[in-house]
Amino acid sequence: MASAKLFYFDGRGRAELIRMVLTACGVKYSETCMSSKEQFLELRPSLLFGQLPLLEIDNVKIVQTNAIVRHLARTHKLDGKDEKEKTLIDQYYEGSRDFLASFMGAGFMVALEKVAEHAKPALLNSDCNFKITYCKVLKENGSSGYLVGSTMTLADLSLLEVVLMAGDYYGEAAFDSYPELKKFKETQSKLNFYNDYFHNIRKPMNSHEYVTKVKEVLSMK
């Protein structure tokens, strides 16, 4: 079984999806979490774009979150069985990444206490386009509970990250009137990887300490 090293911070950010995919692929990994400016500056020359996350796997250093998860998906067959499935997976993956990107830095831009309020219009509205679209896709794919085909793919993991985030902020209310998303979450929660991910791997929601630490390490104002 492959083993890997993940370099990031001790929080979700851009690395949470990588943690989910590593767990779903059954890859054992260790984490190095940046805790000082000096530690980051020492690592920086080995980062292709000077940025984290970095995943070392199979003697290769990979940066760029999307490249990392796509590498894992390709090497562990979470990327679809034919060209049509691969394209659909890419499409749904990009859709949920775009949506998530609008919240990614929220805890760094508005006071942490205001993040849920900030995200509310997009995540809780009864006419949330994102949720409507993914419900439609799940419905059209039949009763499997997955976005593409009848097994888990990278597209599902990417959607799951958004679904879990919405659940963190608003509980079950996040899925009122979206039965397909409710069922999607149930399907995912019955998979073997989920229990391990949810209980042992998933990082907590950002705290003041975490935001302060990241800003300090990256010399952010």
Q: How far apart are CA 221 and CA 209, in angstroms?
A: 15
CB of 92 to ligand GSH, least distance (A): 18
Name the residue number minimizing CB distance to ligand GSH.
51
**Which C-beta is closer to ligand GSH: that of 44 or that of 136?**
44
**Which C-beta is closer to ligand GSH: that of 15 or that of 128?**
15
**Which C-beta is closer to ligand GSH: that of 124 or that of 211?**
211
User: What are the residues whose beta carbons fall under 8 Å from the beta carbon of 60, sequence distance 6 or more?
Assistant: none
Q: Is the peptide bond preceding residue 53 cis, with omega within 30 degrees of 0?
A: yes
CB of 172 to ligand GSH, least distance (A): 30
CB of 17 to ligand GSH, least distance (A): 10
**Which C-beta is closer to ligand GSH: that of 51 or that of 144?**
51
CB of 80 to ligand GSH, least distance (A): 22
Residues that bind ligand GSH (CB under 6 A): 13-14, 50-53, 64-65, 218
